[in-house]
Structure 1
Amino acid sequence: MTDDVPILDDHLHLDPVNGRGPAAAEEFAAAGGTHLLVLNKPSWSLVDSAAVGTPEGFRETFEVTCAVTDEAAQRLPGDAWPVLGVHPGLISRLVDGGHSPDEARDLMQRGLDIAAEFVADGPAVAIKSGRPHYDVTEAVWEASNEVMRHAFRLASETGCAVQLHTEGGDDFTTVTEWAESAGLAPDRVVKHYSGGPVEGPIPSVIANKEGLEDAAASGEAFMMETDFLDDPDRPGAVLGPKTVPRRVNWLLDEGYEDAVYTAHVETPARVYGIDIN
């Protein structure tokens, strides 16, 4: 059913250090998938603990992710691109390790600076940022928002999109207003792990049927993702690599051909400037 239909997973992790790495991309391709956006795992998953939060640790994390993305691309009928940045949960690790929220903010912003270099010089196509999806102190919350706003400034300067890891919800207009004030258009801001349509950013909808049907029926721009973690201790988490191709088949069976084209061709071109035809 998915023959000749390009299929993009907008947010998937490949871990060549602890997980399956490019082998998971083969599973995605075997199910009909064609293109991937590969997000770096948090630095504490990929580098020595002493390097977490350091420029060297960020750079190593990004280099490892670019390398595994290149390997994945060789196993796909289409292509794969890295999305690089700093997991918002890092601020809690840094603060728990003795840094002040402001010090943690500065370290994370430096990590984003390095991610932006990989966008400016290639091969990355977007920056990852956000804020904690769990309760934190007001000082940590404010510092996290400053990190995210720094990502918007960098994205505006380099001409790329930002994928956001945030709390749940469906109204992020304030966030896209911050992006606009930094010179970044709202349609270059992506809300990772959306449960359906959202206000403000482009939703990257986790590939569960209910949320996908809501997004498809809305007629608005969206993308699809698994947030596959490639964690050997949690195989298949969050969703397995085969899920997006399977959900595309289901959407086609339900008559959402136009929505599939929107999610897998039109929206990625609009957001990232990538060709998935």
Structure 2
Amino acid sequence: MLDAETPVLDNHLHLDPDNHRGIDAVRDFARLGGTHLLVVNKPSWHLGVEAEAGEDFRYVFERTIEIVEEASEVLEGRAWPVLGVHPGLISRLVDDRGFEPAEARDLMQAGLDVAAEYVADGEALALKSGRPHYDVSDAVWEASNDVMRHAFEHGGDLDCAVQLHTEASEEMTTVAEWGEDAGMERHQVVKHYAAGRLEGPTPSVMSEKDRLERAAERGEPFLMETDYVDDPDRPGAVLGPKTVPRRVRWLLEEGYDEAVRTAHVETPDLVYGIDTEATLEREA
């Protein structure tokens, strides 16, 4: 087990409320010393929702909030929901369902409007958006950027972070500036699945040793994640729920105590305004 005073936060993972491990994955995380989770809703179609209107996303958000509440009962810290619309939906809408890119943009923005309601009401911590990480047409790329900037507008209005699913890059200053243009603080723009170096947004670093070493050596704010997908067809993908506590233990063994505090106490406070120490009830 980890030291009783060390919060351990996985900044981005998914839990399936119906079809896979769900709370059992949370128990694995907690058993190895994990204390806090940011649970991002699964893509809407993974929960059987083929949205036609913004309101159709509400079921996805409600189910996510429900499993987050269950997760908090298991953890010695707590979990928070991060709600939004997966950027890959645009390809599903355009390629499979015959939407024009502008129609897909409007639907996805309407879904973000619903997600923002939960942040405004205090039921969710942050929003999720982004753009495809694969090649798309210019029209789909432009529509996706419009969706992402719409999320930033909500982030600015609500003073909340926006987690981004995007292409792999170590230079996203322009995207961070879009967030600032919408009234956000630059550090509230978070790139999930980040490498150890990133210019612009706050990196949420995939918890592989080489990436974490780069982030720790860099000395800048960063978060740690697994992007665990809780998919019965891909057990353990992307990284398993035990990974973050194991990597925290490894970082401490390697002498990166300050980096652990950065990732699990200081950056969560900076980005989300959450206190992982005050919400920790682990017994010594």
Measured against the shorter chain, the TM-score band is: over 0.9
Counterpart amino acid of 2:8?
I
Q: Corresponding residue for 1:173?
A: 173
Shift of 1:192: 0.1
Render the CA deviation track for 1:179-198: whole Å, top value 9, x for unaligned.
Answer: 11111111000000001120
Contact persistence 1:53–1:111 (CA under 8 A)? no
Contact persistence 1:101–1:140 (CA under 8 A)? yes
Q: Which stretch shows the higher mean deviation, 18-27 or 220-229? A: 18-27
Contact persistence 1:205–1:224 (CA under 8 A)? yes
Q: Corresponding residue for 2:13?
A: 12
**Match runs of 1:101-250 below 5 Å:** 101-250=101-250
Shift of 1:83: 0.2
C-alpha distance in 2 between matches for 1:9 and 1:44: 24
Q: Corresponding residue for 2:280?
A: none
Give the secondary structure class of the aligned counterpart of 1:14.
coil
C-alpha distance in 1 between matches for 2:56 and 2:242: 31
Unaligned runs of 5+ in 1: none
- What TM-score comes out, normalization by structure 2 length? 0.95
Render the CA deviation track for 1:144-200: whole Å, top value 9, x for unaligned.
Answer: 000000000011111100000000010000001111111111100000000112000
Q: 1:31 and 2:32 equivalent?
A: yes
Identity value in percent: 65
C-alpha distance in 2 between matches for 1:210 and 1:54: 42
C-alpha distance in 2 between matches for 1:122 and 1:268: 17
Give the secondary structure class of the aligned counterpart of 1:240.
coil
C-alpha distance in 2 between matches for 1:67 and 1:125: 14
C-alpha distance in 1 between matches for 2:87 and 2:218: 30
Give the secondary structure class of the aligned counterpart of 1:170.
coil
C-alpha distance in 2 between matches for 1:219 and 1:85: 30
C-alpha distance in 2 between matches for 1:270 and 1:73: 22
Shift of 1:48: 4.0
Q: 1:83 and 2:82 equivalent?
A: yes
Give the secondary structure class of the aligned counterpart of 1:74.
helix
Which of structure 1's runs of 4+ aligned residues deviate more than 4 A? none
- Work out the number of aligned pairs and report it: 275
Q: Corresponding residue for 1:41?
A: 42
Contact persistence 1:86–1:108 (CA under 8 A)? yes
Q: 1:62 and 2:65 equivalent?
A: no
Q: 1:272 and 2:275 equivalent?
A: no
Render the CA deviation track for 1:198-233: whole Å, top value 9, x for unaligned.
Answer: 000000000000000000011100000000000011
Render the CA deviation track for 1:36-72: whole Å, top value 9, x for unaligned.
Answer: 00000000001344xx353232100000000000001
C-alpha distance in 2 between matches for 1:213 and 1:12: 21
Q: 1:73 and 2:62 equivalent?
A: no
Render the CA deviation track for 1:109-163: whole Å, top value 9, x for unaligned.
Answer: 0000000000000221100000000000000000000000000001111110000
Contact persistence 1:43–1:57 (CA under 8 A)? no
C-alpha distance in 2 between matches for 1:17 and 1:93: 22
- What TM-score comes out, normalization by structure 1 length? 0.98
Contact persistence 1:22–1:69 (CA under 8 A)? no
